[in-house]
Amino acid sequence: MTRDIRTGELAETNEAVVELERLPQAIKHLSVDARRLIAASVSKNTLRGMRSDLRVYQRAGGQLPADDYDIANFLSAQSRLGKKPATLERYLNSLHMWHRYMNFPSPVKSMTVRSVMRGIRRVKGTRQKEAPALLLVDLHRLLDAIDHESLAGKRDSVMFALAFHGAFRRSEVVALYLEDIQWEPRGILVGLRRSKTNQHGEAETKPILRAPASAPYCPVRLLEAWLSASGLWRGAVFRSISLGGKLGAGRLGGNVFYQRLQIHLAAAGMADRGFSPHSFRAGFITEAHRQGKPDVAIKRISGHRDQRTFERYIRRTDEFEDHAGDFYPGVEEARV
């Protein structure tokens, strides 16, 4: 069976069907169509992450199916190795999914496992390290350090500019196809087939404005420059480039996005700032919030539905900014 070069959905379904071949005999009585529909309910990334987590568990000596003592001891040992509570929670979710799909009772929700996990949170805390916001001034500094005459430079420039101005996740940027872009006088409309919070393929569109001619870096003009130089007119927007300047057939991988970002951060003298691909998304939300844009307008771009999750993306670049205790606006206090 062949891969759909635009969506990769057939390959994803086949991979999931292979996973289902390992299910108990009772579930094997399902028809091929029924198995494929079950497979379609789980994303390729979810399957990949689940397999990776299960390998960690089994390499640590864990048995499948497991009981609550197996998992509790595994959590304790992994915590001693320095694993963060968020990582352990992910392991638990993967183990729970495996037991459910294999039609075994899941020990993950047992009192023993829950108590051990609660103890780990109390001892280690649950605060996660957040990617710092890459603000507009940081984006411009990053783009300044890129060679805009080279083909790879044109690709990377628009890739980073779109990641910021569209508040995209890394996986969403590399999954863009030209067929999903609608050109308008004021900018472009980018359609997302799926995202982290939209696994069912509901219509989701992000409008990207064309910046004024005086703006140093316009995401729409950068996209036009990349398409003109690459000659692309259909298929994946972002592709690999060989040393000879030949474009790859498939879309770029998320790991390449990360690697290219690190290279350009180093060239811009920003390697020590801790920026990651997620910094573009946090940067757009933080920048828009600082400039007084209403939450509903920002969420139209970011796609957030939950207000609490949305507010976590607003990074404080200055702890004294907009302080609730500033009762003397406009009054300069003498500095000691």
3-state secondary structure 130-169: CCCCCCHHHHHHHHHCCCCCCHHHHHHHHHHHHHHHCCCC
Distance CA 188, CA 181 (A): 7
DSSP state of 230: H
Helix (H, G, I), strand (E, B) or coil at 198: strand
Of the pLDDT bands very low, low, confident and very high (cuts 50, 70, 90), residue 291 is confident
Tell me how far CA of residue 332 lies from CA of 148, 290, 320, 327, in angstroms.
45, 22, 14, 12
266/160 Cα distance (integer angstroms): 15
Average pLDDT estimate for 89-112: 90
pLDDT over 70 at 120, yes or no: yes
What's the start-to-end Cα distance of the chain, in Å? 74
The 10s digit of each residue's pLDDT in 36-93 is 776 677 677 778 888 899 999 999 999 999 999 999 999 999 999 988 888 999 999 9
Question: What's the rounded mean pLDDT across residues 139-149?
Answer: 96
Any idea which of 64-73, 233-242, 261-270, 294-303 has the lowest mean pLDDT? 294-303
- Tokens encoding 215: 């703006």
Task: Specify the pLDDT at position 5.
Answer: 36
Q: Phi/psi zone of residue 242: left (φ > 0), alpha (ψ -120 to 50 degrees), beta?
A: beta
Domain extent listing, the chain: 9-124, 136-312
Mean pLDDT over residues 136-163, rounded?
A: 96
Binning pLDDT at 50, 70 and 90, where does residue 307 land? confident
Q: How confident is the model at residue 237 (pLDDT cuts 50, 70, 90)?
A: very high
pLDDT tops 90 at residue 128: no
- Please say whether the dihedral angle defined by the alpha carbons of residues 160, 162, 163 and 167, taken in this order, is positive or negative: positive
Choose the most confident range, by mean pLDDT, from 81-85, 99-103, 270-274. Answer: 270-274
Q: Is the pLDDT of residue 213 over 80?
A: yes
* pLDDT reported for residue 114: 92
Alpha-carbon span 134 to 261, nearest angstrom: 12
What's the whole-number mean pLDDT along residues 152-162? 96
Q: What is the pLDDT of residue 95?
A: 94
Mean pLDDT confidence for 303-332: 65
Residue 10 above 50 pLDDT? no
- pLDDT for residue 24 is more than 60: no
* pLDDT given for residue 123 in this prediction: 85
Compute the distance between CA of residue 102 and CA of residue 96 in angstroms, rounded to an integer: 10
pTM for the whole structure: 0.67
Q: Was domain 136-312 assigned CATH 1.10.443.10? A: yes
Give the class (CATH, top level) of 9-124: mainly alpha
CA distance 181 to 204: 12
- How does residue 320 score in pLDDT terms, banded at 50, 70 and 90? low
Q: Of 143, 167, 166, which Cα lies nearest the Cα of 155?
A: 143
The pLDDT of residue 20 is 46
The mean predicted confidence, pLDDT, of the chain is: 82
